[in-house]
């Protein structure tokens, strides 16, 4: 077939057109990316791109950066012309900010593309748990773990209410995206308030987590020991000393669920007074300690046994007996008597006639009171067995031996008797005409000064140890206490009490602790108003750290039943009778009886379980209760072992029954006029000290006429 020239030209043109215009590839359109916001450092993530005109061989690129643009081809899966799935590796999500996803449909004549913006942000954190979520006030620094997430290494902690712990922006130790650990400082635990913790992730994104709280409260106390571990049913007052840990003052002691105020005498020791309402019944007391609120609850309970009270004698009728009397019917009154209880005279059982829970009548045979002396009455219970404290009945001579009086030409301001050596020690002041500034040693049998011991300063207060090893002398000028070794007569120790403006601290009273000749209790006096400066304990001159309070306190002190017990009284305007407890750390006030014990400049002495006062008052030391009075006042010398107490006033020496106050003997002793001190000496003697002389009175009514 022949083709015309015109046709050949058209064919060439058509072929040329096919060569210059390849097929057209559509431009992709992006309408959305799901998700459009990604979390920094996420794991491999799939993004769904939606739009149109996606080709099967479409390619998606990750474009990020402003100055140094970084392009990364992404793994792309063609789903349809309207959907592409793109995989992002975690290496692309290391930094926050914007990134671009670009879709390209490959084409011979260009790169038709579409773009969408992706945000890479920090996550908002959440706290699901904080461990521990409790703490105690005053506790040590502790590790705290926060669980939740997502957390990032840029996360910060904010601890509210504790500015000294971590301020906003401080970086906590990052563990992983679900855990943060940090040290909670002890500064956060100084008070009982919640510690609130929040985690903050930075922007973009990020934000503040929900708060988590650590509850801070006072600790749960623990009782380790209670002394005593048993208490008598009629103890009034009963005092319990509670040792333990984590006591926070003002702690409360619960006795069978009833709160009682406690006195903190040391960081690990409480003391509480138990009243009669708590001692009814027979079941043990349940003792717990509760710290101040808010706390983590009471201590575990510890029991204290309630035991049956022993027999207790209040009085004996008659209170005195004349030697040579026929058979005597003794009526013993008191409490806690049982039908089988037995009355004893100096340990000898007496036939019982009648009795009740408060009274027993027994027969005292004539041979038991044939001669002068005294008898100790006790009541012994068959259950236990338990025995009452004794009550002494003096047996008086039928024919009194006239009083003998001797005078020692030696003035003194204080006296103390040494029963071991049968000596008197007299404090002789600086203004004395004989032996000034010394301790005069007097033989009461010969009424002579047999020696002196020089004492620097003006001696005014004396105390003797139980074993008569040491004499302690308080002086005024230097405020010192001198210790004298009586075996050698040498001053072997000076205890300096210090000073306070405007003068030295003085020893107002000194008590040597029972069974410990090297330990003394000292009532400190200062030249101020009020003058009392507390009670301190010294061991060989070294002060124990714990001292009792000053005003209001005990400027008059006396010994008690044992080395752990003292009694005190404030007589310079401070009322109240006090029992003081001595420990290895010092001395503290245990209990106060404020009513019924008033008296300016009143003196007090302990003897035989009772407290005697210069105004005639009498108190039961165990119960701190006033139980009677002697109708007298003045200088006094109790002698419970012989059933007597002696008073000297004006020129009259009076001897009374030590409990009933019944008058036994009264005599005039004019040589003692102006006496400033009094002491019981020997078997039947009284010593009176005046500024000019020492008067020695020997009378059969003072005591048994032994050796005369």
Residues 21-80 have pLDDT tens digits of: 556 778 899 999 999 888 888 887 899 999 999 999 989 999 987 666 788 999 999 999
Q: CB–CB of 311/380 below 8 Å?
A: yes
Domain assignment of residue 664, yes or no: no
pLDDT (tens digit per residue) in 285-301: 999 999 988 988 899 99
- Of the residues 364, 396, 428, the one at which a domain ends: 396
Average pLDDT over residues 483-510: 95
pLDDT of residue 40: 87
Q: Measure Cα distances from 202 to 35, 58, 174, 176 in Å.
A: 21, 36, 14, 16
Query: At CA 199, angle to CA 194 and CA 201, rounded to 5?
Result: 160
Same domain flag for 130 and 213: yes
**How many whole angstroms from its chain centre is CA 57?**
85
Domain assignment of residue 93, yes or no: yes
Same domain flag for 98 and 139: no
Judged by phi (left if over 0) then psi (alpha if -120 to 50, else beta), residue 702 lies in alpha
In angstroms, the CA 78 to CA 81 distance is 8
pTM, rounded to two decimals = 0.75
pLDDT (tens digit per residue) in 580-623: 999 899 998 888 876 666 666 789 999 999 999 999 999 999 88
Same domain flag for 158 and 241: no
Number of domains the chain is built from = 4
Share of the chain above pLDDT 90, in %: 59
Spatial CA neighbour of 98 closest among 160, 40, 168: 40
In angstroms, the CA 214 to CA 238 distance is 41
User: What are the two backbone dihedrals, phi and then psi, of residue 388, each rounded to the nearest 5 degrees?
Assistant: -70, 165
Residue 482 scores a pLDDT above 50: yes
Domain assignment of residue 458, yes or no: no
Q: Which domain holds residue 321?
A: 312-396
Same domain flag for 296 and 347: no
Q: Round the CA-based radius of gyration of the chain to a whole number and report it.
A: 48
Same domain flag for 210 and 228: no
Domain assignment of residue 141, yes or no: yes
For residue 219, name the pLDDT band (cuts at 50, 70, 90). very high
Domain assignment of residue 180, yes or no: yes
Residue 363 scores a pLDDT above 60: yes
Same domain flag for 250 and 286: yes
For residue 392, name the pLDDT band (cuts at 50, 70, 90). very high
Domain assignment of residue 201, yes or no: yes
Same domain flag for 41 and 109: yes
Same domain flag for 246 and 202: no
Same domain flag for 137 and 73: no
Domain assignment of residue 464, yes or no: no
- Of the residues 307, 323, 349, the one at which a domain ends: 307
Average pLDDT over residues 629-641: 94
Q: CB–CB of 646/686 below 8 Å?
A: yes
pLDDT of residue 12: 45
For residue 186, name the pLDDT band (cuts at 50, 70, 90). confident
Mean pLDDT, the chain, whole residue set: 88
Domain assignment of residue 21, yes or no: no
pLDDT (tens digit per residue) in 652-665: 999 999 999 999 99
- Of the residues 217, 235, 253, the one at which a domain ends: 217
* Count of other CB atoms within 10 angstroms of residue 357: 13
Same domain flag for 64 and 34: yes
Tokens encoding 481: 């206490």
In angstroms, the CA 336 to CA 313 distance is 9
- Residue 332 sits in a domain of what CATH number? 2.60.40.10
In angstroms, the CA 653 to CA 670 distance is 9
């Amino acid at each position: 077939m022949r083709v015309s020239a015109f046709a050949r030209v058209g064919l060439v043109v058509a072929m040329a057109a096919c060569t210059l215009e390849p097929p057209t590839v559509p431009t992709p359109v992006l309408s959305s990316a799901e998700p459009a916001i990604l979390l920094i450092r996420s794991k491999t993530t799939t993004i769904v791109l939606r739009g149109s005109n996606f080709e099967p061989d479409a390619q998606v690129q990750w474009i990020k950066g402003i100055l140094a643009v970084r392009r990364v081809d992404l793994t792309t899966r063609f789903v349809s012309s309207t959907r592409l799935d793109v995989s992002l590796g975690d290496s692309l999500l290391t930094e926050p900010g914007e990134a671009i996803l670009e879709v390209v449909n490959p084409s011979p004549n260009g790169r038709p593309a579409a773009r969408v913006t992706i945000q890479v942000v920090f996550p908002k954190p959440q706290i699901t748990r904080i461990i521990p979520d409790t703490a105690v006030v005053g506790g040590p620094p502790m590790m705290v773990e926060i669980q939740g997430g997502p957390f990032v290494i840029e996360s910060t902690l904010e601890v509210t209410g504790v500015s000294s712990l971590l301020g906003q922006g401080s970086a906590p130790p990052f563990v992983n995206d679900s855990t943060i650990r940090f040290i909670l400082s002890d500064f956060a635990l100084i008070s009982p308030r919640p510690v609130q913790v929040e985690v903050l992730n930075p922007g973009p994104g990020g934000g503040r987590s929900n708060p988590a709280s650590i509850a801070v409260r006072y600790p749960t106390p623990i009782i380790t020991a209670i002394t005593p571990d048993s208490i008598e049913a009629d103890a009034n007052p009963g005092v319990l000393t509670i040792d333990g840990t984590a006591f926070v003052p003002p702690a409360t002691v619960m006795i069978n669920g009833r709160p009682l105020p406690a006195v903190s005498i040391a960081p690990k020791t409480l003391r509480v007074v138990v009243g009669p309402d708590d001692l009814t019944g027979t079941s043990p007391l349940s003792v717990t300690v509760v710290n101040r609120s808010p706390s983590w609850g009471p201590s575990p309970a510890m029991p204290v046994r309630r035991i049956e009270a022993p027999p207790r004698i209040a009085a004996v009728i008659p209170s005195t007996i004349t030697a040579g009397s026929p058979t005597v019917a003794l009526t013993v009154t008191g409490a806690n008597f049982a039908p089988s209880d037995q009355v004893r005279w100096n340990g000898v059982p007496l036939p019982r006639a009648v009795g009740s829970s408060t009274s027993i009548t027994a027969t005292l045979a004539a041979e038991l009171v044939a001669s002068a002396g005294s008898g100790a009455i006790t009541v012994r219970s068959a259950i236990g067995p338990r025995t009452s404290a004794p009550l002494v009945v003096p047996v008086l001579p039928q024919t009194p031996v006239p009083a003998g009086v001797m005078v020692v030409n030696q003035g003194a301001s204080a006296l103390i008797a040494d029963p071991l050596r049968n000596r008197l020690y007299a404090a002789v002041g600086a203004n004395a005409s004989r032996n000034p500034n010394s301790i005069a040693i007097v033989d009461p049998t010969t009424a002579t000064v047999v020696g002196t011991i020089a004492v620097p300063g003006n001696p005014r207060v004396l105390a003797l140890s139980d074993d008569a090893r040491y004499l302690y002398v308080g002086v005024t000028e230097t405020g010192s206490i001198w210790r004298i070794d009586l075996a050698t007569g040498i001053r072997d120790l000076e205890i300096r009490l210090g000073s306070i403006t405007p003068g030295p601290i003085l020893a107002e009273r000194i008590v040597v602790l029972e069974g410990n000749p090297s330990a003394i209790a000292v009532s400190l006096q200062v030249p101020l108003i009020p003058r009392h400066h507390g009670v301190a304990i010294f061991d060989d001159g070294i002060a124990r750290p714990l001292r009792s309070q000053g005003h209001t306190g005990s400027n008059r002190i006396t010994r008690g039943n044992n080395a752990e017990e003292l009694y005190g009284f404030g007589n310079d305007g401070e009322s109240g009778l006090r029992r003081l407890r001595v420990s290895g750390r010092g001395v503290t006030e245990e209990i106060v009886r404020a009513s019924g014990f008033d008296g300016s400049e009143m003196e007090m002495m302990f003897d035989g379980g009772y407290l005697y006062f210069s105004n005639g008052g009498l108190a039961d030391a165990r119960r701190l209760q006033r139980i009677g009075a002697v109708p007298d006042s003045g200088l006094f010398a109790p002698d419970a072992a012989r059933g007597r107490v002696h008073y000297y006033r004006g020129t009259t020496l009076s001897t009374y029954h030590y409990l009933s106050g019944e008058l036994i003997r009264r005599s005039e002793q004019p040589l003692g006029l102006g006496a400033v001190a009094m002491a019981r000496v020997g078997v039947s003697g009284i010593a009176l000290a005046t500024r000019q002389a020492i008067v020695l009175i020997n009378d059969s009514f003072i005591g048994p006429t032994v050796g005369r």
